[in-house]
Structure 1
């Protein structure tokens, strides 16, 4: 009876264990299946999304390259002497010679339009059809004509493009102003190229990219906006990806199913098969196999899955112990994870490196600074230094030789920088022509020696397409210190770099704490100057120019003065702020207005009185300077001879080509130019002969030696002026000896404290009345007697 009871208990226990193991296995299997399917689906979906994103990036990249080539061809045709001559009516065979159907097909242009500046067509718009040029269909002209005015700007030297949609077909039209090959003449018209984005054109891009994309209508966006969406249509998973074209009313679209559907199905089948196999083994009563071969393995897998969910950035691998179904699944998952990691590393590299030079970018610098700043917290005596480097004169080379030369120079500089650093140092390009180097374990003194050596290495000459070029740089250095943020370090290096430029460029400067005071004062002065210009609170003082032979007044020089809270701000300081902030144009307009009003009043008693006004390079660049000056003399009923315009020698040396056209237009209107600070810059006799200057102003630095009987430089300058037929004015004259020496050397027109200091308008009126000075015209007081 006892044996039977024991057998019953054993049998009952076995069934209980069988039922318990079956229930446990089913439960664990369901959990494992759910967790694994969730992870697999997520990873496969991420892979599909990245796959379609990469397809769109490839398509949009080809579009951008194609558009750049299209726009480059348009610029080549528009900035061409033959095109300009055709618009001006001097090249009647221009179209037959240059716009053949074969030539347009080669650059994928379907038609073109040439107009005058007022928008009227120079010749009938033409399109290519059946390998012939034919007049543009009226329906196409009706579509394009309303768009053309928005693409027209007489100062436009870059291409403007738009896409117009008609019957679901995109038509791209690009326009640019027509000028000569050297781009130094005013625009004479506009050239527009037309490209029809039909299926034939798109199929060519599809064959090139191997992507079956569509081009659909979209709103224009200045940025590329992309979206990848998974759709479930009757149980069939489909992906719809779209990416807009920058600045154009179109976007590319790719649609398709999951990219790894077979692998996805295989993975799920393997998972399901494994679970079912384990369940059958458990039901067969093979407890120890279930326990040792399955349950323990599942526990490990479950722990790894939990670990991955909690630490998504951790690297895990599914354990493989044999060749069963679970090992097969683990192998598949490991391969999938390895592929995802490789893709992630590729994306990480792209996100942290500059695509042009191959060195790091701003994001990499931020990450390295985070690491180094944390190391400083742990080890306060750890030394590191950040170098911020900006190329001097890079814009001139980039504009003069083209962007390809600029890219070549940037890559060359990156190579030279990389060749000088250690393996643990970090070299990055922050953008444009600005670079940074993070020197690990280097104090500012050692970093300064390195920077001086780097400057010499960068300054070594190099050749580009037959041009022998030199390049220099300015470097700011800032140490990484405890309690400083990475933003503080970058700001400090930036301030030191700008101090290096202020000191004359091509040097390295270590950050000092007083730089912060300079920046704070500059910010306060910039805001106050903006308010002062809005309220027209700046004053104009006048310094007389005297003929020393008879004491007669020849003219005045207008000088800006600014009083802020009882403090006179030095002109050099607030003029520099106005230059860099762009306020110099508004300041210049107010100077013209106040000088014009003063001359209108003063010329009642002194009809021949004239006034010299200083000009800035930004006025040539940022405003219609000619119109501003003409508006001033028209408003106050003054002749052009009443205003003389002064330019410094250093400005001419840096920007002669840029400002010469405006100077010539002003001379044609009757205005005269004075060359200020002559002898302190880099003027040559050839430049003086070619530029339309009427008068040379001798700088005070050459007048002072006259007191020590050193007159060599002044005598040479006077001889140069006489040889070129120019008037001469000596400025900064303060003593009777200097006046006497100048008269002996043949310079009679004097400006300086010896005769009068700069003074406000009311004081000037009283001074003129008290001194009862005769007025002499510039013509009567010539230097050539």
Structure 2
């Protein structure tokens, strides 16, 4: 955190520090220039003074030469000097004037460098040269001809005075130049100092401005971050886009970029969480295959509709639909094909659903339609229910084209208008729609039932009856009956075992009623096991008495598909010590549609024990020559529906004849059940060689009574 704060502070001050650094660098450079300028000015002043001093010294030297020349003349006139002394002095003057001339040349060169001065150096040099020449001529002639020498000395004096005048002018100019140079130097130094001060103040002001701008920019960035965090913390429906912070991250570096990136990562995390919530919500409230709302959505919406209907005296409608024969198609053509059926049915049903209704997916092949509550009279409500039934049936009137298969589908409907009373709940309404659907199935395919209160009573009665059935199985109070099967070419007694139940309070319960109840629960397996045990025990007991009987027993498809079916059969065989060759197991065609390979495997396993197999109710299910060819069957039973009108219905005769021919092809026996008249028997025998079962020869009777009649 300290690193973050320090880095952010550095980031904030960096522009100002850069500007300040530039200002300091420029100030140092300016100060260095100031010092160098001062040194240069000082050198110029010193050089000028030195030149002035040299000039003055040179003038003094010339003056000394002039004085010596004058002294030489006086001494000569007075006779104080010999010729030798005079020439010696002359020689020294020559040397001295030569040195002085060299000094003049040097001074002139130095002064020539001062371009700013308009100095007549040539004139000055000329007067000196004239003075030198006249002085040399005077010193040379002083001993020989003092008068002539005097003339030269006067000429030299005149030139000396000119030289002095020129020298004075030069001195004044040098003095003036020195003063001006000094003043100019001080002025430049002062200007340099002022420039340094101005540069420093300007730099500080500029650095302050940059710092303020940077602070403002940093503040705006921090404001963007804070606003973005506030938006992320406050969002409810959709995660904010945060375009500002995206732009900030793109144009910044360092900690600000890291902060912005962290905020965007936080946003991304929220988006992922939102997506995950949406996915979980979809899984919880929508069906993955059809994309329809599921049962959880139905319960939630139904609760709202129910509350609305109860509070405002409105009536809503819930419809439960079930696709007929879906399991057959699903098993025969594959689960993928079954899914396609569900999707196509969904599209059809969407044509019914409107703004006032909603379609839902239930379990497996079930759908729900919820119609919004509306204010409607009872008669109009009943008309609306009937109209709804018709509209839904019409949706299935045309075939479904799926993967080059043309299928005619239908559905059963269970409808309920709600609320029925103030104690309704969504679960109760769904249950009542299910009750109505269940009752529609009892009426057949493509039927619809509107829920009424007595239907609920029927369900309650069925539940109570189911509990009594479970008790009857455990108490061993069921009974098995036998109905003889007459074979014209076989002497071995044959019969089909049929179960009966004499309820202690309700009396005899029809088999179709309690068998259907048992099929809806696990009880059918217990009934199968009980019945098979009774029959095997009966066969085994009679064989020990020297009587061989061949008995057929119906096996439920639920039981046959149970993983432990073979184990159940083998246990009963072991317990009863029955001869399996005297037993026929009757299976309906729908059994072969589940897992055909497993069905064949189980049948072959039991065939190894000698068990015979029969296809019950042949022709009413998904009949196929392909499975007849592969199944280890021994007989087929023609359903009573084809026997009832066989004496006058040509189509039934044709179908039955085809069954006989097919059975002959596969070497199968044929049992005709439900034969009640001699005319039916005669027609059957004209078509083939059937085993007759029906009221024509025998009704189902209690097994002990059947045995007694067999003896007589």
**Shift of residue 388, structure 1, vs aligned partner:** 1.7
Question: Do structure 1's residue 364 and structure 2's residue 297 form an aligned pair?
Answer: yes
- Contact 2:539 2:548 (C-alpha < 8 Å) held by counterparts: no
Question: Do structure 1's residue 602 and structure 2's residue 542 form an aligned pair?
Answer: yes
- Write the distance in 2 (CA, Å) between the matches of 1:718 and 1:329: 88
Which of 704, 725, 728 pairs up with 2:667?
725
Pairwise CA RMSD: 4.1
**Shift of residue 642, structure 1, vs aligned partner:** 0.8
Residues 709-732 of structure 1, C-alpha deviations (whole Å, 9 max, x = no match): 975554444344334322233322
Question: Do structure 1's residue 530 and structure 2's residue 470 form an aligned pair?
Answer: yes
- Contact 2:332 2:593 (C-alpha < 8 Å) held by counterparts: no
| Structure 2 counterpart SS, 1:420 | coil
Q: For residue 446 of structure 1, what is the aligned residue in structure 2?
A: 384
Q: For residue 269 of structure 1, what is the aligned residue in structure 2?
A: none
**Shift of residue 475, structure 1, vs aligned partner:** 2.7
Q: For residue 755 of structure 1, what is the aligned residue in structure 2?
A: 697
Which of 341, 354, 367 pairs up with 1:422?
354
**Shift of residue 333, structure 1, vs aligned partner:** 6.6
Question: Do structure 1's residue 542 and structure 2's residue 485 form an aligned pair?
Answer: no
- Write the distance in 2 (CA, Å) between the matches of 1:418 and 1:745: 51
Question: Do structure 1's residue 478 and structure 2's residue 420 form an aligned pair?
Answer: no
- Contact 1:541 1:561 (C-alpha < 8 Å) held by counterparts: no
Greater Cα shift, 574-583 or 419-428: 419-428
Q: For residue 435 of structure 2, what is the aligned residue in structure 1?
A: 495
Matched ranges for 1:66-105 at <5 A? none
Q: For residue 562 of structure 2, what is the aligned residue in structure 1?
A: 622
Which protein has greater RCO, CA pairs closer than 8 Å, 6+ apart?
Answer: 2
| Structure 2 counterpart SS, 1:365 | helix
- Contact 1:452 1:507 (C-alpha < 8 Å) held by counterparts: no
Question: Do structure 1's residue 434 and structure 2's residue 366 form an aligned pair?
Answer: yes
**Shift of residue 530, structure 1, vs aligned partner:** 1.4
**Shift of residue 525, structure 1, vs aligned partner:** 1.6
- Write the distance in 2 (CA, Å) between the matches of 1:585 and 1:358: 37
Q: For residue 22 of structure 1, what is the aligned residue in structure 2?
A: none
| Structure 2 counterpart SS, 1:666 | helix
Q: For residue 645 of structure 2, what is the aligned residue in structure 1?
A: 705
- Contact 1:585 1:623 (C-alpha < 8 Å) held by counterparts: no
| Unaligned ranges ≥5, structure 2 | 1-224, 241-276, 375-380
Q: For residue 573 of structure 1, what is the aligned residue in structure 2?
A: 513
Change (3 A) 1:336 1:539: same
**Shift of residue 428, structure 1, vs aligned partner:** 2.7
**Shift of residue 523, structure 1, vs aligned partner:** 0.6
Matched ranges for 1:179-190 at <5 A? none
Residues 4-60 of structure 1, C-alpha deviations (whole Å, 9 max, x = no match): xxxxxxxxxxxxxxxxxxxxxxxxxxxxxxxxxxxxxxxxxxxxxxxxxxxxxxxxx
Change (3 A) 1:762 1:649: same
More helix by share: 2
- Contact 2:585 2:612 (C-alpha < 8 Å) held by counterparts: yes
Residues 676-735 of structure 1, C-alpha deviations (whole Å, 9 max, x = no match): 223444424444333322123233334343666975554444344334322233322333
Greater Cα shift, 366-375 or 401-410: 401-410
Matched ranges for 1:198-347 at <5 A? 336-339=233-236
Change (3 A) 1:564 1:636: same
Q: For residue 690 of structure 1, what is the aligned residue in structure 2?
A: 630
**Shift of residue 408, structure 1, vs aligned partner:** 5.8
Q: For residue 646 of structure 1, what is the aligned residue in structure 2?
A: 586
Q: For residue 285 of structure 1, what is the aligned residue in structure 2?
A: none
- How many residue pairs get matched? 444
Matched ranges for 1:16-165 at <5 A? none
- Write the distance in 1 (CA, Å) between the matches of 2:642 and 2:335: 42
- Write the distance in 1 (CA, Å) between the matches of 2:400 and 2:478: 48
- Contact 1:383 1:480 (C-alpha < 8 Å) held by counterparts: yes
Change (3 A) 1:749 1:415: closer
| Structure 1 counterpart SS, 2:632 | coil
Change (3 A) 1:712 1:497: same
Q: For residue 319 of structure 2, what is the aligned residue in structure 1?
A: 387
| Unaligned ranges ≥5, structure 1 | 1-327, 770-785
- Write the distance in 1 (CA, Å) between the matches of 2:668 and 2:420: 62
Change (3 A) 1:427 1:650: closer
Residues 278-319 of structure 1, C-alpha deviations (whole Å, 9 max, x = no match): xxxxxxxxxxxxxxxxxxxxxxxxxxxxxxxxxxxxxxxxxx
- Write the distance in 2 (CA, Å) between the matches of 1:633 and 1:353: 50
**Shift of residue 613, structure 1, vs aligned partner:** 0.8
Q: For residue 518 of structure 1, what is the aligned residue in structure 2?
A: 458
| Structure 2 counterpart SS, 1:674 | strand
- Contact 2:414 2:434 (C-alpha < 8 Å) held by counterparts: yes
| Structure 1 counterpart SS, 2:553 | strand
Change (3 A) 1:601 1:471: same
- Write the distance in 2 (CA, Å) between the matches of 1:510 and 1:500: 9
- Write the distance in 2 (CA, Å) between the matches of 1:713 and 1:334: 77
- Write the distance in 1 (CA, Å) between the matches of 2:506 and 2:401: 55
Residues 218-258 of structure 1, C-alpha deviations (whole Å, 9 max, x = no match): xxxxxxxxxxxxxxxxxxxxxxxxxxxxxxxxxxxxxxxxx
**Shift of residue 580, structure 1, vs aligned partner:** 1.7
- Contact 1:653 1:683 (C-alpha < 8 Å) held by counterparts: no
**Shift of residue 552, structure 1, vs aligned partner:** 7.0
**Shift of residue 592, structure 1, vs aligned partner:** 1.6
**Shift of residue 594, structure 1, vs aligned partner:** 0.9
**Shift of residue 461, structure 1, vs aligned partner:** 5.7
Greater Cα shift, 685-694 or 568-577: 685-694
Larger radius of gyration between Structure 1 and Structure 2 = 2
**Shift of residue 604, structure 1, vs aligned partner:** 3.9
- Contact 2:418 2:429 (C-alpha < 8 Å) held by counterparts: yes
Question: Do structure 1's residue 587 and structure 2's residue 527 form an aligned pair?
Answer: yes
**Shift of residue 363, structure 1, vs aligned partner:** 3.9
- Contact 1:390 1:434 (C-alpha < 8 Å) held by counterparts: yes
Change (3 A) 1:476 1:658: farther
- Write the distance in 1 (CA, Å) between the matches of 2:553 and 2:322: 34
**Shift of residue 392, structure 1, vs aligned partner:** 4.0
Which of 753, 768, 776 pairs up with 2:710?
768
Which of 665, 669, 672 pairs up with 2:609?
669
Residues 588-634 of structure 1, C-alpha deviations (whole Å, 9 max, x = no match): 11112111111122224554321111111111222433333333334
| Structure 2 counterpart SS, 1:478 | strand
- Write the distance in 1 (CA, Å) between the matches of 2:635 and 2:641: 18
- Write the distance in 2 (CA, Å) between the matches of 1:666 and 1:751: 25
